[in-house]
Structure 1
């Protein structure tokens, strides 16, 4: 701006902005500015995820379709892979090691097939979760969206794969004399609880895998150990009958074993409640809620760090 001096000459004076000297934080608050990529509040984060629910569903379907696109048998491998695993386990554990002792063949074969398919659901969700961020860095860095969309969509992909595979499980169970009845309705709450548990675990592993990509190389060994400790191929209660009770209790109360046993109880006529640990439904629900909520919050806390060097 200009002003006239006492001798009639014109002098220029600098214009002073009313914002000059204000700290950056006050300027940002005054003009409604936010840090780029900052973590939103938990409630806002949930709202953003809900707004992108169609993307999550579409992304999970696309990944499921592309998973076996290079194989000649295509989507049939969704069923063939766990079924072949079950056949191998039956030969090694059922025939050679007699891990099915205490159960008739009509019970043990459905027991084994159900366990393999249900555990594969958790195993695949964990392995996909580990790579959810580190394996999709191009997408994470190129677009702005709640990063939890990725591990959630991968867990949803594995649920869709299991639902497709359940046709084979039903066929095997029926072939060995367990026909549909009211107990089959329990399949729905079991799958809901296991999906919530798997999603929470996938979120936890996604954050861990984003920070340590080498974790993806370690997890197959961890998952194999978990499988052997969860009674996929044998009844924990029968195999550990001569061991202290606390060992069997610890193994039976681990979430993978609980969801497998609840599915077996729902489907197999000769697998009764005596094979389940005490308070099994309450424990199954507690595992689902604990991991779903805890995993979601744990993942959200690192939201602003995903995809950055």
Structure 2
């Protein structure tokens, strides 16, 4: 018997929230994974990869669709364009998924979502894409080509090229598209790094020390963060290493009063509060109640009292 809701339908829901309704991608994905905790780990990994991959490569995906569809992406119905976008990501970047499965499942999803009359259009576009994907011609203009290949807006590339040479810009773009480990910062106000490592390993998490900072770790092998009791208890914060380095550079003195005026979701603010060792105060601000709500959630989880 078919499942009432499959992974591709869940991906479509997330893409609709993010692309059509301006929901933050990490919020939409996190909420969805929390909602569907009962799914198999492989199914949840598929949802994460296709969602993030489609969003990261969307400029390129839309360019490819324009090669094989007479209807421009912006003219398509929102549900159809996002079914096609996630399908093209699978065709181009997921060799483990057969092209026939991508096409067939996309057609089924089109019908399930009430767009049966368009199933022929979806099937035709995807089968043409699958056949012709290897011969896709990219723009001749160097900046436009980089923009499409790396899904980076041209205005950003022109700013970079005003400061760096082409080779450096290509290295930056290549790095952006590399899969990166999740980095976490130990909440040293609650436990030592060694204690955190032991706790994570008992939860089945693969842990590696990070070469840049003594309190940073790279983690992998877990299902999702909300499923880790160590995360729920505030024993660590998920934070990019470059964000942690901000706290190192700021290097606040104990007793300082610090204001972070663009703080959500609060990673750097909490890091600075930890560095004050229970002294001083950090005031974390942002533009909306939604954003400050995210900060407050992390304050409550991490258990720090010298931050508001």
Does the TM-score normalized on the shorter chain lie above 0.5?
no
Given the two structures, how large is their TM-score scaled by the length of structure 2?
0.24
Kindly indicate whether structure 1 or structure 2 has the higher relative contact order, using CA contacts under 8 Å at least 6 residues apart: 1
Higher helix share: 1
Given the two structures, how large is their TM-score scaled by the length of structure 1?
0.24
Higher strand share: 2
Rg (Cα) greater in structure: 1
